[in-house]
Amino acid sequence: MLLEVKDINVHYGKIQALHGVSLEVDQGEIVTLIGANGAGKTTTLRTISGIRSLSSGSISFDGRDISKVPGHKRVIAGIGQAPEGRGVFPGMTVHENLLMGAYARKGELDKDLAEVYELFPRLAERRTQLGGTMSGGEQQMVAIGRALMTKPKVLLLDEPSMGLAPMLVAQIFEIVKEINRRGTTVLLIEQNASQALQIAHRAYILETGRIVKSAPASELLNDPAVQAAYLGAGLEH
Ligand SMILES: Nc1ncnc2c1ncn2[C@@H]1O[C@H](COP(=O)(O)OP(=O)(O)O)[C@@H](O)[C@H]1O
Ligand SMILES: [Mg+2]
């Protein structure tokens, strides 16, 4: 197993946000974690990337326990993320934003930059534009591209579809599929269950800090209870 989250409890002060969350992501998979606003999705992602600490439980990655490893070392170990809200540096160009993803590593970047620009031709056209002046969808591309520049073994994506028009959502999800096809494992956090389940291999459902269901994604797409709770408005086919 590439990433193993075991029975984690996470608190904000006295408030417990995660209650015994366990999930696994195997090499080569796209796994989606879906849940409503406030369910604890971002908290889960931030705990995996080391921004928040555990009260109990453990996280292992690539065969070692990383529960106490600081965040910047987790990036070097191969955990890359495009955070909620994208976190694009507004005063830096697209190109500089991408380079920020690679600040912690040495060696040739040209090949990786070329690959990001190939995945996102839009970014190649706009490499000298300031991040802050890009549209929401373009900023999402910058965030994903910057995460790819860390050379992740697993890419954590926090609601990449948030606030985007349906056509752009489809485009971003196609690119996520392509990134996975090229060999990067993906943990995709989404409220947009319908689209996420269509590209994922497996899925977990998070409700008020607890995993309430896990199954192959195709199974959840056809599950009446999941349809009623999560796919209502999103089911257009
Ligand atoms: N910085 C914080 N301080 C206190 N409570 C927080 C903080 N961030 C999140 N929470 C609470 O933790 C719970 C989970 O939030 P979050 O992980 O952001 O959910 P999601 O990403 O699924 O919308 C919510 O009840 C939220 O109010
Ligand atoms: Mg969130």
Whether ligand 1 lies within 6 angstroms of the CB of 28 is answered as no
Percent of the chain's residues with pLDDT above 90: 89
What are the pLDDT digits (tens) for 188-216? Answer: 999 999 999 999 999 999 999 999 999 99
Q: Is 12 in the pocket of ligand 1 (CB under 6 A)?
A: yes
Whether 17 is in the pocket of ligand 1, judged by its Cβ within 6 Å, is: yes
Minimum CA distance residue for ligand 1 atom 11:
17
Q: Are 92 and 100 spatial neighbours (Cβ–Cβ below 8 Å)?
A: yes
Give the model's pLDDT for residue 233. Answer: 47
Domains of the chain: 3-231 (3.40.50.300)
Is residue 39 lining ligand 1, measured as CB closer than 6 Å? yes
Q: In 27-129, which ranges are continuous DSSP H helix?
A: 41-49, 71-77, 94-100, 110-119, 121-125
Q: Closest ligand 1 atom to the C-alpha of 84?
A: 21
Say what the pLDDT of residue 103 is: 84
pLDDT in the model for residue 232: 67
> What are the strands of the beta sheet with 30-34, ordered from one edge?
79-82, 154-158, 185-190, 30-34, 202-207, 210-216
User: Is residue 10 within 8 Å of 52, Cβ to Cβ?
Assistant: yes
Ligand nearest to the CA of 207: 1
Note every long-range contact of 60-67, with CB atoms under 8 Å and residues 24 or more positions apart, other chains counting: 60/1, 60/3, 60/4, 60/6, 61/2, 61/3, 61/4, 61/154, 62/2, 62/153
Question: Which atom of ligand 1 is nearest to 40's Cα?
Answer: 17
Task: Tell me the pLDDT of the chain (237 aa) as tens digits.
Answer: 999 999 999 999 999 999 999 999 999 999 999 999 999 999 999 999 999 999 999 999 999 999 999 999 999 999 999 999 999 999 999 999 999 999 888 788 999 999 999 999 999 999 999 999 999 999 999 999 999 999 999 999 999 999 999 999 999 999 999 999 999 999 999 999 999 999 999 999 999 999 999 999 999 999 888 888 888 644 444
Per-residue pLDDT, 237? 41
Q: Which ligand is nearest to the CA of 44?
A: 1
42 lines ligand 1 (CB under 6 A): yes
What lies within 8 Å, CB to CB, of 140 at 6+ separation is: 82, 86, 160, 164, 168, 172
Write the pLDDT tens digit of every residue in 89-103. Answer: 999 999 999 999 998
